[in-house]
Amino acid sequence: MLYLLHKFALLLLTLWAALTINFFLPRLVPGNPIGAMIAKYQGRLDPNAAKALMIAYGLEGHDKNVLTQYGDYLFKLTKGDLGRSISFFPAPVTEMIGGAAPWTIGLVGVSTVFSFLLGSGLGVYTAARRGSRFADALVPLALFLNSVPYFWFALIALYVFAFLLGWFPLGGGVDIVTGPNWSLSWILSVVAHAILPGATIVLTAMGGWLIAMRNNLVSTLGEDYVAFARAKGLSETRVLYAYGIRNAILPSLTAFGMALGFVLGGSILTEVVFGYPGLGTLLYHSVTSLDYPLMQAIFLFISLAVLVANFLVDATYALLDPRVRTGQA
Amino acid sequence: METLKRAFNDRRAVVGALILIVLGLMALLAPLLAQHPPSQLSNDTWLHPNSQHWLGTTALGQDVFSQLLYGSRLSLLVGLVTGLIATVISVIVGLASAFFGGVVDDILSGITNIFLVLPGLPLVIVAAAYLQVSGVVPVIAVISFTGWAWGARVLRSQALSLRDRDFVQAAVAGGEGPLRVIFAEILPNMVGLIAANFFGAALYAVLAEAGLEFLGVGDVSQVTWGTMLYWAQSSQALLQGAWPWIATPGLCIAALGTAFALLNFAVDEVANPRLRSERVAAESKPLALKPAGAPPAGDALLQLRHLEAGYLTEKGTVRAVKDVNLEVHRGEFLGIAGESGCGKSTLAFAVAQLLRPPGQVLSGEVWLNGQELVRLPPEALRQTRWKDFSMVFQSSMNALNPVMRVGDQIADAMRAHGVSDKSLIEARVKELFGMVGIRPEYMVAYPHQLSGGMKQRVVIAIALALEPRLVIMDEPTTALDVVVQRSILQEIDAVRRRLNLSIVFITHDLSLLVEMSDRVAIMYAGEIVELAPSHDLYANPLHPYTRRLMNAFPPLEGERTRRDGIAGRPPDLGRVIQGCPFAPRCDRAMTGLCEVVAPLRLEVSAGHVVACHLYDPNVMKGRAEDHAIAAD
Amino acid sequence: MPSLPIKPNLSAMPSEPVLRLEGLEKVFRSGRRSVKAVTDFNLEIARGEVVGLVGESGSGKSTVARLTAQLHRASAGTIRLNGTALPTRPNARALLAYRRKVQMIFQDPFSSLNPTHTVGYALSRPLEIHGLTRGRETAPAVRSLLERVGLSPGALYEQKFPHELSGGQRQRVGIARALAVQPLLILADEPTSMLDVSIRLDIMNLMLDLRDQEGLSYLFITHDLAGARYMSDRVAVMYAGHLVEIGPSAGLIGSPAHPYTQLLKSAAPKPESGLAATRVDARGEIPDLTQLPPGCPFEPRCPHARAECRAALPRMVELPGQSAHQVRCVLYYPELGAPGIAEIAATTQRASA
Ligand SMILES: Nc1ncnc2c1ncn2[C@@H]1O[C@H](COP(=O)(O)OP(=O)(O)O)[C@@H](O)[C@H]1O
Ligand SMILES: Nc1ncnc2c1ncn2[C@@H]1O[C@H](COP(=O)(O)OP(=O)(O)O)[C@@H](O)[C@H]1O
Ligand SMILES: [Mg+2]
Ligand SMILES: [Mg+2]
């Protein structure tokens, strides 16, 4: 329990760090990014919006020093107020994120977990069957997949399977004409749109998990307790599962938690390629239209999601490792 | 250095390095190879690959091949420089954290942990968007800023373990200052890990850069593989059928990434010896064995006939067990002693059929209770194991599964051999714990909750679980303190007497063995050179090796006199040994005989067998005659 | 085989001991846990003397050595070298001067030499750090050091990396490294326990020879009573961070006074007698150092425990008529009539019967 408390404290600390980076970033960069943005929107920007922006970024109201602004910022955050989007003024950014997040969580979240399971499974296979040609060939393949840019792989998949072969829709999250939300045809359409992007995420993310699991399991299988388990006359399956994998999964889980941020970051680029209506596409939009409030809110939201996911991974870890559970590690 | 050298013996590292060299050449020779300036516009837009434009042209009529060549420059630069910067940060943070400890460590580890879980790429994107990047420097800065944390964590834990190593302590005790301790003592031992880390960081950098530029947050006026993809995507190149424009930069990025990943993997494997030795293990092949002879006639529980075992290594066969013939009777306590490296463990593993590649039984027979074990099929062997014989390993500290309750680890062995009644198993576990002197509460404990002595007791309890006829113990108490050792030995002895077990007990501590055993076998260079009832061996050791070994233990009582060890070392078992293996170290060696002719094993008195020319009447008679002739 | 008696140590009686540890104490803290590894430790080592320090693992032997080598900072107590106290927080110069006189040999020959440096480098560093040789003088000095510890020709071994040497050879290099600065005292932390039985004696003999040649003093740590007896003039016994008994080695090991030392002795292997003949009662294990009882740390395991043992930590008392032999046990309190003495006599009689 102490372990989880510790992890929760780390979560809060990291969240605070993300919030702080988020606050200071626009204030630290040289030049005047907000000015540039306002200039870019010159004429098309609602004067209210411009004023709100100036205040939000401390360009107006010089009576307030940075610390007061920082306090205001944190206070507003506690009320869930992240400001309003510029490019879709006056939509509050929280609302926009609320619309996009379910798509991302559904696609990227599910694909990431799936790729971890699949990659780890194949990692077990390559470790247990070392020496067989197929198992050994999987390793360089995994290294290659792990090195492929997600979005590029997505582009190629889109071209081949959607454009050339026409097996999948060309983009988007769901067809507009399929009927009310959660109707059967709507769900089928959502699934049809998710398969290709999901598959590209699974394939590209899988390589890393495969290598991690393979190396962990190979090390574990060399441990004395595995040799001793064999000596006891346990079946190979029992040795592999209860002694090998059961231990090798622990460092793999740690690696999973650590890499989540990177993988999620990469996966959102996949959304851009597929025009998937999730956070990645929204982030892309906000970057191209210099919509700073939206951009920052998305960053915060992704950070929060990663942190929560990480905490869940830590909790799972604690559940699986008695050394942590009994607080003696 | 050594690690790096070894890494390059690896095929994967070579492939990785080759890819890197090819891409490097592309970057260097771009002006020579490219037929067009990379950014030159022309009216030949959307050309398909042809002899003028090998990979076609872009929407603006630029040559894709030229762009690819020139693009490699910045892409490589970003990868290498970012990898380098991130690694330098990792090394500094990791080392400072480990070396200074305390508050410095708390703060740095805290920051590292924060950066580990912050989603790097989105942060990079937001930061880059603010910076309104122009040129690659900000890109490098931003990616380095987010890419160092993983390495810092790994390097910190490595540095921490190095800091506690004795050689670092020795340097400090010798008066070495902190800088030299860090840079001359700790750092050189981290080269492998740092290199692996560099390749990992470079891979991250290449992918992050591509992602940034693809989104257009980098400086899209530069030619890199990432910006090529950006322009291709924004001009809908695929829909125009200009697939090389998209396919080739992506492939190049993937190739560069793969090169880094291969190098990282190879260096990692070298730095982690276990990954390596297992690979060698997977490569060796089984030998063909001659069919076994008839089962033994006498009352021996275990009989070894001409057992040969060893290791098939790249440099040849290490013959660690040579022509061993031995019998163990029911209820007998047989001790095996000898210096380390004499093949004691190999013998134990060979008897138990537990040698893993490259180790192997080369020939001979192991008869246990009427069954020949060497030729037993795997499933039959699995069933015999633990039921008929069990084994306690040398390193029992790690013999227990850390995530399984110790009681379950006993139950496991019982279930594997057909005992499935839960209450029966539980009662038995309780009984076993009592037998080895552990309170039953500990049945539900995990290994980390037990002291070393208790773990050893649990392992012994597991070995006794199915009341096997034979227990082989390979230095089961060497790592323990004398008091704990004594109490465990007493328990083993009591159980043996009660259940009439046979025990083969291996140790290098001859004085302990003489005290405990019925018979003692002395092993040297893979052979049993003397075998005798223990009181007989103690009172009348014959083989010069046994005598020297006996003399190597100073006594607790009596006069304090100067004693000598045994000069020299046991021979390398990978070489062919001529004559008596002990001859080079023997003070009674007879020149012209011992180093040429191997002595025979002779029974000089009841049950006392020795392999030494000094006790061979024929040899000694012959020599006496020779001397007589020479004297004439 | 000719056997020479070990030379009696004539120089071992000057006025001021080389080393004097006074009330040394070490508490390791990590988080809320604090481990009291060494408690009120007093010891003197005379010039040319070998003091053996025995005890089971975890009893604080290494910590004493590391405190003395200034690898850890003591929580309390004073270290005197030739009568001069080392400041609690010595500055770099004072520390360097101290290290010049006090050197250490480590237990694990496989981890005490840096695998990335040659033997020559390892030996040249102390010479250079302490300004004993400069430039071209170093190489010959290194070679002669190697030859003094039996690694000749020195020129050959100088170029070797640790992985090219056997365990015994590495340990010789470790000794040479300690010897390089011509120290007064060498702290040897179980220098033979990781070595093969066949070379242990060689290493011990080398250390004894060097003592005779150079007038060195040793703190020789071991968990092997027989080894301590072979090496030492005096033996000190530690239990759970406390010094429980100290005395001339023959006397102490011949007839140990403290119940713990008696237990240690009865547990040691004795080839003469069968296992069953010497059943020892070894209940319990070393106590938890995070919460030591106020009384004698051995009391929970002691067959002679009485009420006085639990009240307070027993003081060190001299055995009657043997001022050099002291023991921390109420059984030897003169005011209680020293009932332990009769006990020892009885045991000795039983053993000899
Ligand atoms: N995996 C291995 N590969 C090659 N040689 C080995 C291996 N394991 C042990 N050996 C060699 O076999 C010999 C006997 O080793 P071992 O049986 O462990 O001896 P002991 O138990 O008596 O110390 C040694 O010379 C050792 O170098
Ligand atoms: N650096 C350290 N940090 C925390 N505890 C330590 C440290 N070094 C030793 N200890 C603890 O101090 C006690 C004594 O250890 P040590 O001096 O190594 O004993 P010995 O050398 O007699 O085996 C042990 O309980 C050990 O766990
Ligand atoms: Mg062994
Ligand atoms: Mg120690």
The two three-digit tokens of residue B585, written as one number: 């170290």
pLDDT in tens, A10-45: 888 888 888 888 888 777 766 666 666 666 666 666
Amino acid found at B196: A
- Chain centroid to Cα B202, Å, comes to 28
Cα-to-centroid distance, B320 and ligand 1 (Å): 6
Per residue in C70-123, pLDDT (tens digit) is 999 999 999 999 999 999 889 999 999 999 999 999 998 889 999 989 999 999
Tokens of C353: 């019967």
Distances, alpha carbon C278 to alpha carbons A180, B461, B487, B496, B517, in Å: 88, 23, 11, 17, 15
A18 touches chain B (CB under 8 A): yes
Interface contact B549-C197, CB threshold 8 A: yes
pLDDT band at B402 (very low <50, low <70, confident <90, very high): very high
Confidence of residue B567 (pLDDT cuts 50, 70, 90): confident
* Domain ranges (residues) in chain A: 2-78, 93-326
Q: Which segments of B132-239 does DSSP mark as H helices, in order?
A: 137-147, 149-163, 166-173, 178-180, 191-215, 225-234
Residues comprising chain B, all counted? 632
- Position A56 scores a pLDDT of 66
Query: Any CB–CB contact under 8 A between B236 and chain A?
Result: no
What value of ipTM does the predicted structure carry? 0.88
Which fold does the domain B2-41+53-275 belong to in CATH?
MetI-like fold (1.10.3720)
Say which CATH topology domain C10-237 has: Rossmann fold (3.40.50)
Domain limits, chain B: 2-41+53-275, 299-388+469-557, 396-467, 583-631
* Among C71, C96, C197, beta carbon nearest to B508: C197
Entry pTM = 0.86
* Residue whose token pair is 């170290």: B585
Span from the CA of B175 to the centroid of ligand 1 (angstroms): 38
- The predicted model gives A130-148 an average pLDDT of 87
Whole-angstrom distance, CA of residue A76 vs CA of residue A316: 33
Amino acid at C121: Y
Q: Residue B288 is which amino acid? A: A
- Interior angle at CA C196, CA C195 and CA C202, nearest 5: 80
CA-proximal residue: ligand 1, atom 4 (nearest): B311
What is residue B438's predicted lDDT score, i.e. its pLDDT? Answer: 86
> Does A144 contact B at CB distance below 8 Å?
yes
Q: Does the pLDDT value for residue C13 go beyond 60?
A: no
**Using a CB-CB distance cutoff of 8 angstroms, which residues of chain A are in contact with residue B413?**
232-234
Q: Round to the nearest angstrom and report the end-to-end CA distance of chain A.
A: 12
Whether the link from the prior residue into C115 is cis, omega within 30° of 0, is no
**Helix or strand run (H / E) with residue C319:** strand C316-319
Give the contacts of A75 (CB within 8 A, at least 6 positions apart).
none
Alpha-carbon distances, residue C152 vs A44, C172, C195 (angstroms): 89, 11, 20
The answer to whether residues B71 and B225 touch, using CB atoms and an 8 Å cutoff, is yes
Query: Which chain A residues touch B261 with a CB distance below 8 Å?
Result: 143-144, 146-147
What residue ranges do the domains of chain C occupy? 10-237, 256-352
B510 alpha carbon – ligand 3 mean position (Å): 14
Query: Mutation test of ligand 1: which of B318, B321, B340, B505 has the most ligand atoms closer than 8 Å to its C-beta?
Result: B318
Nearest residue of chain A to residue B212 (CA atoms)? A269
Distance of CA B514 to the CA centre of its chain: 34
Closest to A215 measured CA to CA, from A114, A115, A126? A126
CB pairs under 8 A between B and C: 185
Burial category of C9 from C-beta neighbours within 10 Å (exposed 0-12, middle 13-18, buried 19 and up): middle
Q: Are B69 and B79 in contact (CB under 8 A)?
A: no
pLDDT at C1 over 90: no
- Indicate the residue of B211, B253, B352 with minimum beta-carbon distance to A269: B211
Shortest CA distance to B55 belongs to which of B257, B254, B250? B250
Is B299-388+469-557 a domain of CATH 3.40.50.300?
yes
CA of B136 to the centre of ligand 1 (A): 55
Please report how many Cα atoms fall inside a 13 Å half-sphere around the Cα of residue A318, on the Cβ side. Answer: 18
CB A171 within 8 A of CB A275: yes
For residue C127 the two structure tokens come to: 């010479």
pLDDT (tens digit per residue) in B45-94 = 777 888 787 788 887 878 888 888 898 898 899 899 999 999 999 999 99
Ligand 1 near B341 CB (within 6 A) = yes
Q: At what angle do helices B137-147 and B64-100 cross, to 10 degrees?
A: 40
Which tokens belong to B68?
């690819």
| Dihedral sign, Cα of residue A216, residue A217, residue A221, residue A225 | positive
Query: Is A265–B262 a contact, with Cβ atoms under 8 angstroms apart?
Result: no
Considering only residues 513 to 542 of chain B, which have any Cβ-Cβ distance to chain C shorter than 8 Å? 514-516, 538
Per-residue confidence (pLDDT) for residue C4, from 0 to 100: 42
Instruction: Give chains near A: 3+ CB pairs under 8 A.
Output: B
Would you call B282 and A290 a contact, using CB atoms and an 8 Å cutoff? no
| Contact check, Cβ <8 Å, A232/B122 | no
pLDDT, residue B528, reads 96
Is B179's Cβ below 8 Å from some Cβ in C?
no
Phi, psi angles (nearest 5°) of residue C150 = 85, 15
- The C-alpha atoms of residue A151 and residue A267 are separated, in whole angstroms, by 8
Show the tokens assigned to B505.
């007990």
Q: Which residues of C touch B166 (CB under 8 A)?
A: 106-108, 111-112
- Contact of B173 with chain C, judged by CB distance below 8 Å, is answered with yes
What is the assigned CATH class of domain A93-326? mainly alpha
In this prediction, residue B456 carries a pLDDT of 87
Strand pairing of C50-54 and B371-372?
A: unpaired
Q: Report how far apart the first and last C-alpha atoms of chain C are (Å, whole number).
A: 31
Residue A203: both structure tokens together: 């394939």
Per-residue pLDDT at C3: 41
Ligand 1 and B507: CB distance under 6 A: no
Given a cut of 50, is residue C12 above it in pLDDT? no
Nearest residue in B to C256, CA atom: B556
Cα–Cα distance between B147 and B141 in angstroms, integer? 10
The residue among C181, C190, C170 whose CA lies nearest residue C216 is C181
* Stronger pLDDT, C321 or C203, i.e. the higher one: C203
- For B186-245, the pLDDT digits (tens) are 998 888 889 888 988 998 888 888 888 888 877 778 888 888 888 888 888 877 888 888
Query: Could you write out the DSSP letters of every residue in C115-183?
Result: TTS-HHHHHHHHHHHTTSS-GGGHHHHHHHHHHHTT--SHHHHHT--GGGS-HHHHHHHHHHHHHTT--
pLDDT digits (tens, 9 = 90+) for A282-325: 888 888 887 878 888 888 888 888 888 889 988 898 889 888 87
pLDDT tens figures, B103-155: 898 899 888 988 887 887 788 788 877 776 667 788 888 888 888 988 999 89
Burial, C19: exposed, middle or buried (Cβ in 10 Å; 0-12, 13-18, 19+)?
buried
How many CB atoms neighbour CB C313 within 10 A?
15
pLDDT at B8: 62
| A10 close contact with B: CB closer than 8 A | yes
More confident residue, A6 or C77: C77
Q: For residue B437, report the distance from its CA to the centre of ligand 3, in Å.
A: 26
